[in-house]
Structure 1
Amino acid sequence: MGWADRLFRRKAEPTDADPAKKFSDVGVPELTHPSYARALMLDTGGDRTATVEVQPPGQAPYRAELRSGTTPGSLEGLVIRWHWPVVYDAQQPDVVYALEPPCGPDLPLISAELQAVRDARDLRTATLAEKYPPPPAAQLAVLMRPTASAVHPAWDAVCSRMGLMTTTEAQAVLDNIRADGNGWDRAQAHLYSWGPDVPDDLRMQFGKYISHLYYVAPQGRELDRQSFWTLGIAALMRDLKPSEVEPAVFERVMRPFTDACGPLPDSLL
């Protein structure tokens, strides 16, 4: 059975010997309680396995083991010490499905094997996103209340939503910005005219949430990171100094993001 056949196979009842009980595997699963998280690639072991740290929003991180050997569940292209989005069933959290971005940096020429993994993972990611849409920032804000900062909880939620982005979503945000023509550019200039002062620790925090797109996603270096930084700045300013951010300017800046990724936390509205 080829990977394309397995990709759309519905998950069968696992047996004791079925590796799907313990590891991620290929296919588009039936998830009872679909949950999204970021995962940090820790290391690769023998027998085609890898250890990852799964970081669910608002919950304690835990370790899981990925199993390779099939496409798109292959470890090919996964980059150690980088984050990327994953989806899993909350009732079976040790079964983790890697989504599209961690495919390795683009090179002048990549192997046919890596391209096959990319293509297969793209298909699975698209199907999973259609069946189980990633949570919007509004939902993440609720999930993150136990761990969110009391000073800038909405910023935390927006950052976390960007940390779940695939390149397809990121490109949709940028397409929405371009579709708005000069209107978005004028709103961005108005936002920056207030001279937002962002502490270095928050700059680093934000950079980590979008680093998977720029550094390890296919064609990621073609994405305009500055636009995503502007979205984060708008959310942070609205959190910290709402009286200084005109609602119309804020709405215009954030609309490309909300159109692609869903509603914002109530505190930003």
Structure 2
Amino acid sequence: MKEVSMSGSRSYKFIFIAAVLLPAVLLGMLFAFRVSAAPNDSLPPLSSETGSLTVTFVSDDGTAVPNAEIQLVKVADFSVSDGKGVYRSAAEFASLHINYADMSTDRSIETANKVYRLVQSRKIHTDSAKTDTNGKARFTGLKSGMYEVFLGHRMDYNGKTYYFDPYLIAVPEAVLDSDGSVIHWKYQGIAVPKSQNMKEKADKPTPVPPPIQKKPTHTVSRITRVKTGDKGNPVPWICLIAAAAAGIVCMTKRKPR
């Protein structure tokens, strides 16, 4: 009967243990790398500063529309608690049961139209300002919250009738860095609603997406929770694990000399 030396047995035992532990260690390193690469999603605290909002109304050819009546109404209060944004609907809009945590573009448009209809049906008080010769209307002294902007009435200008759809905007706005983390709050909001030329007057506005800010540093009109993600690439680690496992398997199959 062929005898197997103890040293050979120890070698195979070591190889077997390495085959089991090495992939686990490498996977642990991969997990640690991915966790450490995730940015902090905590929101910065709000200051006591009040905000402002400048709305610029221009025609479809880019011409400023003066004397347009812009309406503004506060829909919800906004605060930051333990690094998370918290919205609380104003009493006038509590019946709408707005879910601010699920405010996609489509949902934002839908909510803005619901708020608009409620304002009209219940004659809810709004602030108003008329655009100047540059098409600008400015609102100041705004406390942190979600606001709705809409046109008081359709505007006749240069032989055309213009309007824009109601939309939601947050004051202050969250300024993001390249990975989507909030770096600070911007209390001076700027909005340029998309105007539409009405060929036929309609009583009910047709929803259109609100204007989108561009990167690299941009602002968003609402913030409930900042989503952060890991940008680490796991492919090199997976390849390394596979290569290590394959090498160990080949070593175990070699016959002892």
TM range (shorter): under 0.3
Between structures 1 and 2, the one with greater helix share: 1
Q: Give TM-score, length-normalised by structure 2.
A: 0.20
Which structure has the bigger radius of gyration?
2
Q: Give TM-score, length-normalised by structure 1.
A: 0.19
